[in-house]
Amino acid sequence: MAKAAKQTAKKHPAGKRSRSMMAGGDPVDVMLALVTEHGWRSVTLAQIAEAGGLSLGALYQKYTSKADMLAEFAHRIDAAMLAAVGEVPQDNGGEDVAVAKDRLFEAIMARLDALTPHKAAIRVLMRELPTDPPALACFLYGGLRRGLDWTLASAGLDRPGFAGLLRRKVLGAIYLDTLRVWLRDELPDLATTMAHLDKRLGQGMRFLAARGPISHLREKTVR
């Protein structure tokens, strides 16, 4: 039995076997699988095209870079999160802090649920993206920033100008901190992650739901 297994392994090396399984797959999923196996910096566009059973020209018609694929992946996580949380309650609009906190909690956990099948790839990306400044900049602006804006919107907390910038920074710190806990959380119910997120949101809601000095000034003017 052991001898037969060794012979099979020689006929079908791990790399070739995994690539044949990826053939015809979605380029984003192929990219994430290769990143998990080889690391972000090592994976090339040619490898992604070959593993996905595409020509370079066909891959270019869909994505122009690895960073572009990463942005698409972030877009899919946003879409999964919005589908999970549904519409903002019409009677809230961010005014009820408790409701807004619950909505943010639900939205971030929905994001983590969508990321779960790709947890190994996320570990690699968190470790290696900082060593690729152009890709990191593209992801921070086109992926993370957009995701934070939509997460705030799902709780009725998105705002223009300085207020929106402050809320995005606060939520970004909470989300990334929770993401690190999630990566280490091996409990099936993610109890450690949920407890951490609930605590961090509780600490940050006074900034996330703050109405700002301009709003208070308008209230005084009306009175």
Query: Which of 181, 171, 177 has its CA nearest to residue 119?
Result: 181
Whole-number pLDDT of residue 7: 43
Q: What is the DSSP letter of 141?
A: I
Q: How far is residue 178's CA from residue 198's CA, in Å, rounded to a whole number?
A: 10
Residues near 137 by beta carbon (within 8 Å), at least 6 away in sequence: none
Helix locations, 86-160, DSSP H: 97-115, 119-128, 133-139, 145-154
Whole-number pLDDT of residue 149: 96
Q: How far is residue 90's CA from residue 62's CA, in Å, rounded to a whole number?
A: 38
Within 10 A of 3 (CB to CB), how many other CB atoms are there?
Answer: 7
Whole-number pLDDT of residue 29: 96
Q: How far is residue 149's CA from residue 166's CA, in Å, rounded to a whole number?
A: 11
Q: How far is residue 119's CA from residue 84's CA, in Å, rounded to a whole number?
A: 19
| 223 residues of the chain, pLDDT tens digit each | 334 434 433 433 444 434 544 656 899 999 999 999 999 999 999 999 999 999 999 999 999 999 999 999 999 999 999 999 998 876 555 568 999 999 999 999 999 999 999 999 999 999 999 999 999 998 888 899 999 999 999 999 999 999 999 999 999 999 999 999 999 999 999 999 999 999 999 999 999 987 654 443 333 433 4
CB 157 within 8 A of CB 167: yes
Architecture category of domain 66-212 in CATH: Orthogonal Bundle (1.10)
Architecture category of domain 2-62 in CATH: Orthogonal Bundle (1.10)
* Domain range summary for the chain, segments of one domain joined by +: 2-62, 66-212
